[in-house]
Amino acid sequence: MKFSIKNLGAIHDAELDLANFTVICGKNNSGKTYVTYAIYGFLKLWKNYIELPISDILVKNILDNGIGELDLNDYEKSFKITLNHASKSYTSIIHRILASKEEYFSSTKFSIHFDFPSEVYYSTYKQKISARKTNLLIIEKEENSSIVKITLGVENEKPSLTTNFLTEILSQEITSLLFESIIPTPFIASAERTGSAIFTKELFFARNRMLDQINETRGDIDPFKLLSKIYSDYALPVKENVEFTQRLTKIRNEKSWLAINHPDILKFFDQIAGGNYKATSDEVFFSPKKSGTLKLTMDESSSAVRSLVDIGFFLRHQANKGDILIIDEPELNLHPENQRMMARLCAKLANVGIKIFVTTHSDYFVKEINTLIMLKGTKDKSDELCKRYGYDIGELLDHNTLSVYLAHPEKKYIDGLNSKKMVNTLSLCDIDQEEGAQVKSFDESIEIMNTIQQEILFG
């Protein structure tokens, strides 16, 4: 899946391919966060902007005869048009995703590109649409077929389905059939996650009190519109972090696919956190390792503990195979040793089927990724080196599964100008199995420091 971006904040023109493991590096104010938030917004809200047309004749046949068929080949022919329409629709509201003024994005273009999912032809599909314990529709497709059959679910009795309702339901279901296998379900840990971990409980109580007071006033105020206005001051990922933190006490009894199939990864995460998170019906606690029965609230815990709480609960209670975990600054508040462990955690997750997307300023994080790539490339030595330095085979990385980008200024031709101008873009860094990713931004800073220290010591 590729994203093309023009005139989005600091980024003038860039392309990004979503890989199994995607990393964006770069200096402050180089456009990393805007790109990340914009991609997250699309992955989160794509169903609002991808609409597949449903034939009026098909709808009439279903309502009149109780059955109808559509051919997925028809959607393959118009696939690029569908994506172009979705790109334009999403671009028009991207200022809301970023909680900024619309005029700042008047020349922004955000485009989505990927191939039609031909594998959908080879799979079977069956979905029942029900209401009040009654099957309204049955949608099914046989293996190695492009034909989707739609049948009314109630025999000898026509359900009260309107043309508009049936059209909307079919559009939603066929859209899901085609796109859910391509577009991963996202979870984001924004750089503001530490603050939401402390204050969400207070915000939750304050919101409830405000709603109670508004409802008591018999005025014309719509409390939900008011709340929507308040939340509109924050970017979508920040709002999602706040709302997820509010749900922590409710999801504590759920068990994720990751927890069931890869509990060893959760144990590794607990090593990074330095203990375990626990939730009651109204509070989240952290129990440091080897502390006995000690339980710390989030405002009593360290900033490192608070920066990891959302990620921990997602992994333990919600992470499914095929999801994408987006972390803005995984190194946030972590000691260099734990920054390296976060890189290893991300590699473990990517290798078991959870996609990873991170932005980072951490040389430790990137260098550890390179270590995992290089260990994978030394087949004759990897077992010995892994044993000596405590690595696991399951966290070694194939360089072909990664994309590493550098957000940086570069001379480019601008529309209407005959000469090049320095603008911000994303450049794909070279990666090979022997040396890893070459991220010049970090290397240059380290070389400058080394040069200064050499001169101080030796003149």
> How confident is the model over 354-360, as a mean pLDDT?
97
Handedness of CA 345, 334, 330, 295 (dihedral sign): positive
Burial (CB count within 10 angstroms: exposed 0-12, middle 13-18, buried 19+), residue 390: exposed
d(CA 358, CA 8) in angstroms, rounded, equals: 19
d(CA 5, CA 111) in angstroms, rounded, equals: 7
| Single-letter code of the amino acid located at 405 | Y
Percent of the chain with pLDDT over 70: 89
Instruction: Report angle CA 439, 444, 445 to the nearest 5 degrees.
Output: 110
Q: Which residue has the tokens 């939750």?
A: 204
- Assess contact for 412 and 420: CB atoms under 8 A: yes
pLDDT at 348: 97
Q: Is 376 helix (H, G, I), strand (E, B) or coil?
A: helix
Within 13 Å of residue 175, how many CA atoms lie on the same side as its CB? Answer: 18
d(CA 321, CA 354) in angstroms, rounded, equals: 5
pLDDT at 368: 95
Question: pTM here?
Answer: 0.88
pLDDT band at 228, cuts 50/70/90? very low
Length of the chain (residues):
459
- Residue with the larger pLDDT of the pair 147 and 195: 147
Pairing of strands 134-141, 275-279: unpaired
Which residues are registered as beta bridge partners of 69?
149
Q: By C-alpha distance, which of 182, 181, 176, 185 is closest to 324? A: 185
Whether 324 shows a pLDDT value over 80: the answer reads yes
> How confident is the model over 372-392, as a mean pLDDT?
87
Q: In what order do the strands lie in the sheet with 134-141?
A: 67-71, 147-152, 134-141, 125-131
pLDDT at 341: 97
Whether 82 shows a pLDDT value over 90: the answer reads yes
pLDDT band at 216, cuts 50/70/90? low
Burial 103-120 (b: 16+ CB within 10 A, else e): eebeebebbbeeebbeeb
Whether 157 shows a pLDDT value over 60: the answer reads no
Alpha carbon distance, N-terminus to C-terminus of the chain: 52
Pairing of strands 125-131, 109-113: unpaired
Instruction: Report angle CA 153, 154, 155 to the nearest 5 degrees.
Output: 115
Lowest mean pLDDT segment, chosen from 173-182, 210-219, 253-262, 274-283: 210-219
Q: Which residues contact 383 (CB under 8 A, 6 or more apart)?
A: 393
- Assess contact for 274 and 294: CB atoms under 8 A: no
Model pLDDT for residues 388-407, shown as the tens digit of each residue: 999 999 999 999 999 999 99
Q: Which residue has the tokens 């990891």?
A: 308
d(CA 109, CA 5) in angstroms, rounded, equals: 6
pLDDT at 224: 46
Percent of the chain with pLDDT over 90: 58
pLDDT band at 350, cuts 50/70/90? very high
- Residue with the larger pLDDT of the pair 217 and 100: 100
pLDDT band at 136, cuts 50/70/90? confident
Alpha helices in 140-192 (DSSP H): 163-179
Q: Is 314 helix (H, G, I), strand (E, B) or coil?
A: helix
> How confident is the model over 146-171, as a mean pLDDT?
80
> How confident is the model over 81-102, as a mean pLDDT?
94
d(CA 316, CA 299) in angstroms, rounded, equals: 22
pLDDT at 379: 75
Lowest mean pLDDT segment, chosen from 164-173, 249-258, 379-388, 400-409: 379-388
Whether 160 shows a pLDDT value over 70: the answer reads no
Model pLDDT for residues 247-301, shown as the tens digit of each residue: 888 898 899 999 999 999 999 999 999 999 988 877 889 999 877 778 898 888 8
- Assess contact for 53 and 45: CB atoms under 8 A: no
| Dihedral, CA of residue 211, residue 212, residue 218 and residue 223, to nearest 10 | 10
Cβ neighbours, 10 Å, residue 326: 23
- Assess contact for 406 and 25: CB atoms under 8 A: yes
For 247-284, the DSSP string reads: HTTTSTT---HHHHH-HHHHHHHHHHHTEEEEE-SS-E
Q: By C-alpha distance, which of 319, 318, 326, 320 is closest to 250? A: 318
Handedness of CA 379, 384, 388, 390 (dihedral sign): positive
Q: Which residue has the tokens 């671009």?
A: 91
pLDDT band at 156, cuts 50/70/90? very low
Please provide the average confidence, as pLDDT, over all residues in the chain.
87
Q: By C-alpha distance, which of 223, 231, 226 is closest to 203? A: 231
pLDDT at 264: 96
Which residues are registered as beta bridge partners of 327?
189, 358
- Residue with the larger pLDDT of the pair 440 and 241: 241
Cβ neighbours, 10 Å, residue 73: 11
Token pair recorded at residue 181 = 């296998």
d(CA 380, CA 89) in angstroms, rounded, equals: 52
